[in-house]
Structure 1
Amino acid sequence: MHFLGAILLTMGAAFCWLPSSVSQAPPPPPKKTIYDNLLTHLFDKYAPSAMPICKVGDKLEVSQDMLLYQLFDLDEPTQMLSVDVWVESTWQDCRLVWDPASFNNVTEFAIKSEQIWYPDLIFYESLHGNFEEGMFIYGESTARVRHDGWVKLGAQALFKAFCRVNIRQFPYDSQRCNITFSSWTKDARTFRLKRKSGETGDKKDHAFAEASNGEWEVTGFPSYNRMTARNIGVLENETAEYTEVVFQLRLRRKYLFHQTYMLFPCMLLTWLAAFAFFLPTECGERIAYITTILLSLVVFLLLVAENIPRSGDAVPILGVYFCLAVCLVSVANLMVIASYNVSLKPNDFCPPEWLRRCCFRLGPLVGFLPTHHNGRAKLLEFRMNPRNPTASSNAEAVTTAAADADGDECRTEDAPLADESADDKTAKTAAAARPGNANTWRYLGIVMDRLFFGLYLVANLIGTVWILAAASAATAGESGTN
């Protein structure tokens, strides 16, 4: 029993001693990365707000570059450009220099941008609702630092910029949108912003081939340096020069959509309006036909107005063509009304002598050759049935009456109506029974229709050739500048 008690006492003492011995053991030292000593060496007394100029009189040079990933949209009514880009700045920080051999052969490392100094760049054309998004473009991006002090800071961003759209050549237009970078507070005395060195000058630099979208083709994205003087402070005479880097996005519109769904239907409607002059006068649908085409053109004109900026500086060539088409069809409507007025004159009105002579001379020009009958020239070379089938007993009398209309007694539109006796009324009734005057008016109306058709055809052809030539010139001009 004494031996068993000694064993239990020994085991209890051992258990009591074990926790105290474990708690008194020193913790293992934390492991260090290969960057710890380097970061401590570089950022022990580093001030991120101080610009890295280590010598008096030196200037800090920052190289700016931008790569276009994707063109999202160029909204003409709001003149807003939306692009997906990669923005990158490169400079040398004299405080971030080390010997790789002394720090585990580390030649570069990555670090958050807020832990180092970086340029306060903005782009002037920003349309961001939040001012900070347009002012500090890098935000929480990551920078790469090399052992010789060179820092490269880049970020992918969606820019919404203002782009003034020139609509004069719409839809065969080309646009140029600038994205201008500059420092917000540092002028040219201590800070110089320049485009990335080593550029080849190719106009397609900084843009991927897939950057174009369905409406616009990217023809170039060059950059250039610029010096601008702007005010500092409240007083207007306090000015300073600031360095800027301008990236110019060059776009050319793909006009197939507008040409197929807007221009060609308009051309088709204007050419269809020409056939109104071939409709018979008796059908009574010529004015309705022209008016329907006119309303269709007005609808197309409204579609054009909705897709272009509301600008008073210029009128697009497509809008000019639509306005000309509307005016042309409106004039054609007036021509049809004039032809109606002539063709449907009653029998008791004689055509004026000057109108008869004009139509007699213009008849051969529009396809009506004069013939001769009994030594006298006839206006009609074809046989026409009278509008009133009871007015004549045979067609030969109709043609003869039309040919000898010069000898018929009738009155003009402005002749006063005198008191008529019974014999005069009988004579007038007999003269009205002859269809010569009615057929003469119809002949004059047909000649006017043919003449109006020729004039409309020439005017429409000139307008069509003009719009096609303007489109070709705009396309060739843009190809020459690129």
Structure 2
Amino acid sequence: MKHTPPVFNSSSTVSMDLSITLLQIEDVSTRFQSLKMQTWMMMTWKDGRLAWDPHEYDNIMNIRVPSSMVWEPDVMLWNSPTGVHFTRVPLVLYHDGSLTHVRPTSIKSRCSIDKHRPNDSFTCKLKFGSWTYDGNMFDIKMKAGERGFDMAWFQQNPNYAVISTNSTRHVEYYPCCPEPYVDITFEITLQRRQV
């Protein structure tokens, strides 16, 4: 089961909600045109194959499960020079088959920064989507009510101020392929603090 997505027929789609809590801006590099951040990445989806009746199991409503034991969305940062590095932690499996996985994640993204005007504000875009599943098999959405990064746990950076964040869901068709591909693009606008 862990190697196949939780669909019951060829017309089923797995739907996943994505939320990213920004904890810290770790590094901004004009030389390497990159942004490095520490985050918590939360993904929620449903796998009906894993559901159970709590009345048959001593009213247990949820359990913690190693992520290696279940199918998990292959959501990647498409515009990363080094990939996304996350800590393996268990996920929460609820009796209805819903899964929630909150992973401490280090994100390094490409970011276009004007080397000649480093004090200006600049916007970095981070594009997340499935690496292998098209939009007919896998859909990704923002967690209800959220736009941009969740800033509740953010620690200010001494060198850069966060001006704004936003996120947009895209459905794109590429010349190679007839099927749609879905992504969520986060935007973060930063400005160097004046010394």
Task: Give the TM-score, by structure 2 length.
Answer: 0.90
Opposite residue 182 of structure 1, the aligned amino acid is: G
Aligned mates of 1:198, 1:208 — CA distance in 2: 14
Match of 1:213 among 157, 168, 175: 157
Opposite residue 77 of structure 1, the aligned amino acid is: R
- Please tell me whether residue 223 in structure 1 is matched to residue 167 in structure 2: yes
Identity of aligned residues (%): 24
Deviations 1:80-116 (A, max 9, x none): 2111011111001011111111101100000110100
Opposite residue 174 of structure 1, the aligned amino acid is: S
Contact 1:68 1:84 in 2 (8 A): yes
> Larger C-alpha radius of gyration, 1 or 2?
1
Cα distance change of structure 1 residues 60 and 138 upon mapping to structure 2, 3 Å threshold: farther
Question: RMSD of the alignment, in Å?
Answer: 2.0
| 3-state SS of 2:133 partner | coil
- Number of matched residues? 195
Opposite residue 160 of structure 2, the aligned amino acid is: W
The aligned counterpart of 2:122 is 175
| 3-state SS of 1:250 partner | strand
Deviations 1:30-79 (A, max 9, x none): xxxxxxxxxxxxxxxxx111110124422110111111000112111211
- In structure 2, stretches of 5+ residues that fail to align are none
Aligned mates of 2:178, 2:40 — CA distance in 1: 32
The CA deviation at 1:127 is 2.2
Contact 2:62 2:95 in 1 (8 A): yes
Q: Compare the two structures and name the one with the higher strand fraction.
A: 2
Contact 2:87 2:104 in 1 (8 A): no
Cα distance change of structure 1 residues 206 and 195 upon mapping to structure 2, 3 Å threshold: same
Cα distance change of structure 1 residues 244 and 107 upon mapping to structure 2, 3 Å threshold: same
The aligned counterpart of 1:195 is 142
The CA deviation at 1:139 is 6.3
The aligned counterpart of 1:242 is 181
Deviations 1:123-153 (A, max 9, x none): 012222xxxxx26x55633110001111001
Task: Give the TM-score, by structure 1 length.
Answer: 0.38
Opposite residue 215 of structure 1, the aligned amino acid is: N
State the structure with bigger RCO (CA 8 A, min sep 6), 1 or 2.
2
The aligned counterpart of 1:68 is 22
Cα distance change of structure 1 residues 105 and 244 upon mapping to structure 2, 3 Å threshold: same
- Please tell me whether residue 98 in structure 1 is matched to residue 48 in structure 2: no
- Please tell me whether residue 158 in structure 1 is matched to residue 106 in structure 2: yes
The CA deviation at 1:221 is 2.4
Q: Compare the two structures and name the one with the higher helix fraction.
A: 1
Aligned mates of 1:90, 1:100 — CA distance in 2: 20
Aligned mates of 2:44, 2:73 — CA distance in 1: 10
Contact 2:22 2:153 in 1 (8 A): no
Aligned mates of 2:47, 2:86 — CA distance in 1: 17
